[in-house]
């Protein structure tokens, strides 16, 4: 895995983690009882984006480190996922 691949992998993991973190522990404006005029009732009362971005960055780095270690040590390779060649289904013999 080269540097660009590592950065792209981290970016993908970061955004996937962000989508999970944004949904956890949210209190909507309807639940809080204070709805700001012009906003939807399901909008978060206090989004705490800095805190959520920090949690996302730390969690994504942890996941990325595990995935990168698995890739770099060849613990799991692409051949492990290639079902057609593993069972001889893709061969033309």
Count of domains observed in the chain? 1
Look up the domain containing 34 and give its range.
3-86
Longest CA pairwise span in the chain (Å): 70
39 within some domain: yes
91 within some domain: no
92 within some domain: no
Nearest alpha carbon to residue 13 among 60, 54, 69: 60
33 within some domain: yes
93 within some domain: no
Give the predicted TM-score (pTM) of the model. Answer: 0.75
13 within some domain: yes
DSSP letters spanning 15-73? HHHHHHHTTTT--BHHHHT---TTS-TTSBS---HHHHHHHHHHHHHHHHHHHHHHHHT
Per residue in 10-21, pLDDT (tens digit) is 999 999 999 999
73 within some domain: yes
Per residue in 34-80, pLDDT (tens digit) is 888 888 888 888 889 999 999 999 999 999 999 999 989 988 777 77
Token pair in block for residue 3:
């540097």
């Amino acid at each position: 895995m080269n540097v660009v691949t590592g950065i792209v992998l981290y970016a993908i993991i970061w955004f996937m983690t962000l989508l999970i973190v944004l949904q956890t522990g949210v209190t909507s404006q309807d639940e809080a009882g204070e709805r700001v005029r012009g906003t939807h009732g399901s909008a978060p009362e206090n989004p705490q984006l800095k805190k959520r971005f920090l949690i996302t960055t730390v969690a994504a780095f942890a996941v990325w480190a595990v995935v990168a270690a698995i890739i770099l040590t060849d613990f799991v390779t692409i051949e492990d996922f290639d079902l057609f060649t593993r069972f001889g289904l893709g061969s033309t013999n």
